[in-house]
Amino acid sequence: MLKKEKKERTYELPDLDGAEQGKTCMRIAPGPSGPLHIGHTRVSVLNDEYTRRYEGKLILRFEDTNPEKIDPEAYDMIPEDLDWLGVKIHESFIQSERFETYYGMTRELIGQGHAYVCTCDPEKWRGLKEEKRACPCRDLPVNEQLDRFDRMMEGGYGEGEAIAVVKTDIAHPNPAVRDFVALRIVDAPHPRTGTKYRVYPMMNLSVAIDDHLMGMTHVIRGKDHLNNTDRQKYVFDYFGWKQPFYLHYGLVNIPDTVLKTSLIKQSIKEGEYSGWDDLRTGTVRALERRGIKPEAVRRYWVESGIKSVDIEFSWDNLYGMNRDLIDPVSNRYFFVQDPVRYDVEGVGSIEGRAPLHPDHPERGMKEYSIDGPKTVFISEKDSRTFSQERKIRLKDLCNLEYSLPARYAGNDVSEMRKSGLKAVQWVSRKSIPCDVLMTDGTVASGLVEDSILSEKSETVQFERFGFVRIEKKDPEKIVAAYTHD
């Protein structure tokens, strides 16, 4: 045999520095502003993959420290999304239940002289930082700082009048690392704690504290957090804590997709989108609804790896992976978009049969029998071909000659090869109206063969149309969501 040996490549994530079997602890830490979208699935899958590899612990931590950007439903939606993705969470925390901890730690930092309470005008404070200069509050004595902190906690300052700040290096060459805000005052009620608290931690404080207290060994996150890692290091150092290993993967640009939760939310509110699972969005819910399999998403991110290069997300590549998964399990059905009616004469009755899946004949056949008034429908597009070519084959049934009504022209399959006869999908009068919701928000309407009613799988292929996920199936109406071609 001359067959070339093909090198098969296995896609595996690189090992994690410092990872010990059974001892890793990682986390997924979303802000509960909405459900997860395709962008969030990367960090979720990567953390899950490593946690499984090292038999470690994976924590879900809701970072709800900004009361103004919380959707209460997200606390339920996010775990549902992770569950669909196949991400196993071992423990969950909600930061809004831990405010006292952050307050205590901040007080300690102030006591150590590593934090201060600033009452300057925000712009002035920022401007001074630009110039590597400290504001007057920074160097006040510790006991005065503590008094200010108490006053802040007791409500002695209004919103925007005071902040607690962690000192770093005011002259740090990287302006992004100089002194950062630890706590601020917000009057807006928090969906979970109401008006009980009005001093809210900023993520650099709460993340550093929680990553330590929750025992993180490794933190995987986007490159956009690189500067935050530097900032958080100061908190770790002040308390003498050991920092986890960090991995920063590159940013992902996801084209042609609406991801911003605030935008989606607004469109839902305005009635433009049907909900969080609107096919036009890139939410996990929309992926699920379309018939994208979680295994495809997982494979996509594993193959993408964890490099810190910025990447462009490719729907084509994801579709390719998903097609590998759904093609073998998707039975074939005829869907006729924009149906055109043809009556057939010149024959008594017509019989035909076709396998549910060409590669799996053992699954059974669809049996066709057309008698009485012999009426078929083909798509508007195929109808044009029919009138031009004058002859066409109804796949798995018979050939037709063009005229009105159409004329039966035998059942010789070999004509396809001999004279380039085109086979088209068709349905009979027993077909069912079917709407396919497309990913651009449009609807493809037509008829689908009625044998689909006994189909058990949600995912099927409409031949020469594409894969779809059946959403609603009853004898009067079928609704499906378009997956991909």
> DSSP of 75-113, one letter per residue?
HHHHHHHHHHHTPPPSEEEEGGG-HHHHHHHHHHHHHTT
Q: What minimum distance in Å lies between the beta carbon of 59 and RNA?
A: 14
Return the exposure string of 288-320: e unless at least 16 CB atoms fall within 10 Å of the residue's CB, then b. Answer: bbbbbbbebbbbbbeebebeeeeeebebeebbe
Q: What minimum distance in Å lies between the beta carbon of 345 and RNA?
A: 20
Closer Cβ to RNA, 289 or 393, answer by number: 393
Burial of 465 (0-12, 13-18, 19+ CB in 10 A): buried
| DSSP 8-state secondary structure symbol assigned to residue 244 | P
* Cα(81)–Cα(78) distance, integer angstroms: 5
Residue type, 9: R
Closer Cβ to RNA, 85 or 354, answer by number: 354
Q: What minimum distance in Å lies between the beta carbon of 474 and RNA?
A: 25
Closer Cβ to RNA, 187 or 272, answer by number: 187
Q: What minimum distance in Å lies between the beta carbon of 485 and RNA?
A: 6
Closer Cβ to RNA, 203 or 437, answer by number: 203
Q: What minimum distance in Å lies between the beta carbon of 180 and RNA?
A: 7
Q: What minimum distance in Å lies between the beta carbon of 294 and RNA?
A: 18
* Nearest residue to 482 via CA among 437, 425, 448, 444: 437
* Cα(175)–Cα(177) distance, integer angstroms: 5
Closer Cβ to RNA, 185 or 434, answer by number: 185
Contacts of 462 (CB under 8 A, 6+ apart): 333, 334, 335, 425, 436, 448, 468, 480
Q: What minimum distance in Å lies between the beta carbon of 380 and RNA?
A: 12
Q: What minimum distance in Å lies between the beta carbon of 5 and RNA?
A: 9
Closer Cβ to RNA, 149 or 313, answer by number: 313
Closer Cβ to RNA, 191 or 274, answer by number: 191
* Nearest residue to 37 via CA among 285, 387, 347, 250: 285
CA angle at 229 for the pair 153 and 166, rounded to the nearest 5°: 30
What is the β-pairing status of strands 115-118 and 91-94? unpaired
- Helix segments in 30-73, DSSP class H: 38-54
Closer Cβ to RNA, 189 or 352, answer by number: 352
